[in-house]
Structure 1
Amino acid sequence: MSDLNAPRPPRQSRKGTTSTGARKAASKSGRSRAREFALQALYQYIVSGNEPASIDLFTRDLAGFHKADAAHYDAVLHGCITTAEELDKLIEPKLDRKLSEISPIEHAVMWIGVYEFLHCMDVPWRVVLNECIELAKEFGGTDGHKYVNGVLNGLAPQLREKEVAADKQKAPAEPTE
């Protein structure tokens, strides 16, 4: 029997993040999950070059896929694959090295971000940016999220010009001395 007067262990933090700063699974939306599965599929596509249809079938069979927004997953996965050259042409000028030297995870995350900037106008640009940073934090290298942030932040004014400009006008002015 346990002692009812024994001290309780400290409560676990219930914020929505893990120790690495990534969001906990329970706090993720269907679209966030869709991006995660699309990222896994795109990684597989970049690394293996397998057929998109077989990668798609494999990914849909993974645990937890039923919680993802399947329509968003389809749009992102197949959209990124069919427009990969266009996406790379937009990404490459923002890189400080060759695209072939970028990790496949960061490459796939940037594809997702640029694709959503171009084709998912219902998703605000800041949401696209934040979601991609979260993906890079969770699946990428130690500082990969910083690189992804720099590239996508550099592309946002070009790809979502009016939206970014409107956001900057809403931002409070820097205090002057």
Structure 2
Amino acid sequence: MTDHLKRTDNAATSTDTQNPEQDLHTSESSYKTSHTAVRKARRFVLQGLYEWLMTDYRFSKDGQDEWRNNAPHDIAARTRATNAMHTVHLGYYHEMMQEIPQQIDALDALIAEHLDRDISKLDMVEHAILLIGAYELKNRIEVPYKVVLDEAMKLNSHFGATDAHKLINAVLDRLAYDLRTIEVQADGKEKPAPAVPSAPKATPKAVPQAPKAAVSATDAQDAPASNKPRISAKKGAIKRERATPKTDSNAPTNNDSND
């Protein structure tokens, strides 16, 4: 049995490297097909899609097709060669690594209907997780929608940002209602609220200050005169009014002196 597994593994590896354009599906009977094996396949798919989104897919969107040299089948073959994947559901891994890039336009259209922003604004990890979830909701009907959402949350906890689970859960929740309406309604779940486009942040405007009122010549004339003494700019001395000498009624007069 061990020799049979080795021969099957070698045959699958040689097939991927010699003729990568052909179907990447392998015999599922020779590999793990448990729930844990499928979960590991999703993790490898997430890493592969992230690499593809960052390279060939981004180059094609930017019109730089001459830089495209990292096709999904090359990523899958390289991942098989550099990782111990004997506990991974390889059939599921190869299926998603082949089908998701081929269906990305349709999957992106489904995702964009339930986003509150443009899909180009998504982080690449979030984009890859949403692609996996959308693909499973659309094509893997045997996987319950709750499992799809739960596995997406687990992928985000390992690879995504802290608050990204809110966006991923909201988008896949709405998408599940559209693609699995009967299943969701049978679970007693109501239709989730549609996505509301997020308003751009308004930059605070500077409050204009009131200009200082100019004093007109008329106002200056009408203004009450100040009682404070004026300071001469030339002499720097204070001009004071001369005091008139006071006469004392008791002071002696000239007539008295003659007496």
> Is 1:157 paired with 2:164?
no
Aligned to 2:81: 61
Show structure 1 runs of 5+ residues with no match: 1-27, 170-177
| TM-score, normalising length: structure 1 | 0.76
Cα pair 2:73 2:97 within 8 Å, conserved: no
> Is 1:96 paired with 2:103?
no
Q: Which has the higher contact order (CA 8 A, sep 6+)?
A: 1
Q: CA deviation at 1:168?
A: 1.4
Cα distance in 2 for residues equivalent to 1:115 and 1:75: 11
Count residues with an aligned counterpart.
142
Q: 1:140 aligns with which of 153, 160, 166?
A: 160
Q: CA deviation at 1:137?
A: 1.4
| TM-score, normalising length: structure 2 | 0.53
Q: Which has the larger radius of gyration?
A: 2
Cα distance in 1 for residues equivalent to 2:44 and 2:108: 21
> Equivalences for 1:20-169 in 2 at 5 Å?
29-49=36-56, 50-168=70-188
Cα distance in 1 for residues equivalent to 2:166 and 2:119: 16
Cα pair 1:113 1:132 within 8 Å, conserved: yes
| RMSD value, Cα | 1.3
Are the structure 2 counterparts of residues 168 and 64 from structure 1 closer, same or farther at C-alpha, using a change threshold of 3 Å?
Answer: farther
Cα pair 1:133 1:146 within 8 Å, conserved: no
Question: Helix, strand or coil for the counterpart of 2:143?
Answer: coil
Q: Which has the higher helix share?
A: 1
Between the aligned residues of both structures, percent identity stands at 37
Cα distance in 2 for residues equivalent to 1:42 and 1:70: 15
Structure 1 stretches (4+) deviating beyond 6 angstroms?
Answer: none
Q: CA deviation at 1:75?
A: 1.6
Aligned to 2:21: none
Question: Helix, strand or coil for the counterpart of 1:61?
Answer: helix
Cα distance in 1 for residues equivalent to 2:150 and 2:104: 21
Show structure 2 runs of 5+ residues with no match: 1-34, 57-69, 190-259
